[in-house]
Chains A and B, each alone.
Chain A
């Protein structure tokens, strides 16, 4: 196993298209890093450059401290699982598994031993004499995985390995991959466009867009403190709500206004916290059912906005600019009936998901509806007027022009 370093790696195609731009990334020995982004974001190009299948036009790639920028793929000692699995169709499962060892001139005894071990670990023993065409999608996927595991490469590369599986199998295989990573303690670089896969698998996730890294951090840090508006919108489901707000200073701090939305952010320690005020239908509601409990969130991750005072301070500074983008995740909004609220509107659509429901709220002065995740028990009917209350410690502020996160 080895660490992988990308040192200002770039790739510009002859036609001028920039597929990767100044990528800098350190992947520690034994770390699982997930590259995530929409299609065309350069994540696959980055992976293929590490693999040696694409040549960077600038920068260096180091594996275990060796500069491998000009080393052909077969000499990099990496293993890769392809999206299409790329099994050799004319070879049996056994021959497929043995191929990487045979290419490295391993002795016959060792090949048989390793193939048997991998086949047992992945439950492929009864399939050893079949050809890939006779296997199901899940079985092919396991053979592809086995072919990567059969040696002990310096690192594993995964190119969307789960995207051809059906949803149930995908979740199952995802858990197996996480287990595999723990057992092998192997360096892994994993590419996916699925933010959920990225969140659940990665020790660290790297969000990419247009060939550039937007943010590289542990999943929760990315979720709680997205570096910019793009990351905020891409990570988390349902996607974050954004409000293009005007900022004004008020008596206690700053006030953000966007149509029917008005959020006061107080700087003082004795400032009232609207969410604490009981009233209306709010008392009857359980707390926001976010994926992270608030206690764990604040205690473990220093990267999130520490408290409402910092958010207010940020907003106050933003008053000079006059405009700021407020981001609130659907899980961080509480539906209230009467009483104080940060915004008011009426229910447009309700999408029940079972454990919870996504409520789309129409607001005056806003083109898009606001997505709110409410507990399933909360009865919501279309056209019902509702109030929205935002969790003050989970507000995200972004620069109105650059989209960059505004920090205290």
Chain B
């Protein structure tokens, strides 16, 4: 009886892991299953493996283009929002000035608008600026959700750093910006990495803005491209799933690569302990 009780949490965890991983597994398996077998009785173990869907993806559909577009847009958004957001977050975390809580609340409020509500006004603005179907035309709207995310995450990280380190740096003759560069940034690398990954993820997966503000395949991002695979009479499931795998892989690798960095406690030994 007691033995059984001990196994319950383990079983629960196992069930959760299976539930979480199964769709990925299923997508991966389906992406290498011939189109003809996709609609037969499903089987957990793949039978014949083919690379047809991947070949079609890159040869007929030129999937490299949406991947490139997504990389450029998500990368630029991440770079911009983390570098500018870090400065904003530091100011909000450490400097003393009036109306700070109000600014933080406002920053959060910006990201609370339902995307669908701001698509039309943004479209008009971007058209006036001649930014429709351009990279900046996607990066700028993406910043509306990326910046609040970055700022809120980083304010939290910066606040955790011992204030005495910054005070010590100032006593040692470093100004605010110097302190930020020499002390704060190196110490918050785990925080910056986490923030960058999350920002990149959101931008990589963003669909509505990308669909609304791009006009042709030369500017489609990965989610838009995948959505538009579907033809009038048929849905190429094999290719869609292959594209999903291709779209997920780099992000998953990125997270795995940075995971240790994120967990690592860089501040160990900073103050007593």
- Taking beta carbons and an 8 Å cutoff, which residues of A are in contact with B? 51-53, 72-74, 77-80, 82-90, 99-100, 103-104, 131-135, 137, 140, 147, 157, 164
Contact = CB atoms under 8 A, between A and B. Distances in A.
Given A73-B167, A74-B171, A88-B182, 12 more contacts: A52-B170, A74-B170, A78-B171, A79-B171, A82-B167, A88-B165, A89-B165, A90-B266, A99-B174, A103-B169, A103-B173, A164-B272
B269 interface: yes
B172 A134 contact: no
Interface string B158-180: 00001011011111111100100
A138 to B, nearest CB: 12
A118 to B, nearest CB: 14
A72 B164 CA distance: 16
A38 to B, nearest CB: 21
Nearest to B161: A89
A194 B263 CA distance: 39
A134 B269 contact: yes
A103 B171 CA distance: 10
Nearest to B175: A74
B172 A89 contact: no
A53 B167 contact: yes
Nearest to A84: B271
Interface of B: 162, 164-165, 167-175, 178, 182-183, 186-187, 266-272
Given A103-B172, A103-B178, A87 B167 contact: no
11 contacts: A72-B170, A73-B167, A83-B164, A85-B271, A88-B168, A88-B270, A89-B269, A89-B270, A132-B269, A137-B272, A157-B171
Given A51-B171, A74-B173, A90 B164 contact: no
Contacts of A53: 167, 170-171
Identify which of B165, B183, B272 gathers the most chain A CB atoms within 10 Å of its CB.
B272
Q: Which 3 pairs from chain A and chain B are nearest by CB?
A: A133-B269, A103-B173, A84-B271
Given A53-B167, A84-B164, A86-B164, A99 B172 contact: yes
A86 B167 contact: yes
Contact of A147 (B162, B172, B174, B267): B172
A150 to B, nearest CB: 9
Contacts, number: 86
Contacts of B182: 88, 99
A203 to B, nearest CB: 23
Nearest to B171: A80
B270 A100 contact: no
Contacts of A147: 168, 172
B101 to A, nearest CB: 14
A137 B267 CA distance: 16
Nearest to A78: B171
Given A86-B162, A103-B173, A80 B168 contact: yes
Contacts of A99: 169, 172, 174, 182
B269 A103 contact: no
B157 to A, nearest CB: 15
A100 B272 contact: no
Contacts of A52: 170
Contacts of A88: 165, 168-169, 182-183, 270
Given A73-B167, A86-B168, A104 B173 contact: yes
Given A85-B271, A103-B178, A133-B269, A90 B186 contact: yes
Contacts of B186: 90
Contacts of A78: 171
A133 B162 CA distance: 15
A90 B164 CA distance: 15
A243 to B, nearest CB: 42
A90 B186 CA distance: 7
B197 to A, nearest CB: 21
Nearest to A164: B272
A80 to B, nearest CB: 4
A84 B271 CA distance: 5
Nearest to A48: B167
A107 to B, nearest CB: 15
Nearest to B271: A84
Contacts of A73: 167, 170-171
A74 B168 contact: no
Contacts of A80: 167-168, 171
Nearest to B270: A89
A133 B268 contact: yes
B238 to A, nearest CB: 49
A82 B164 CA distance: 8
A200 B151 CA distance: 49
B164 A103 contact: no
A82 B267 CA distance: 17
Contacts of A140: 269, 272
B250 to A, nearest CB: 29
Contacts of A89: 165, 187, 266-270
A74 B269 CA distance: 24
A84 B167 CA distance: 12
B168 to A, nearest CB: 4
Nearest to B96: A55
B172 to A, nearest CB: 4
Contact of B187 (A90, A100, A135, A157): A90
Contacts of B175: 72, 74
A284 B144 CA distance: 89
Identify which of A52, A89, A100, A131 gathers the most chain B CB atoms within 10 Å of its CB.
A89
B270 A132 contact: yes
B270 A74 contact: no
Identify which of B162, B167, B187 gathers the most chain A CB atoms within 10 Å of its CB.
B167
A89 B273 CA distance: 12
Contacts of B270: 86-89, 132
Identify which of A84, A90, A99, A104 gathers the most chain B CB atoms within 10 Å of its CB.
A90
B162 A131 contact: no
Contacts of B178: 103
Contacts of B268: 89, 133
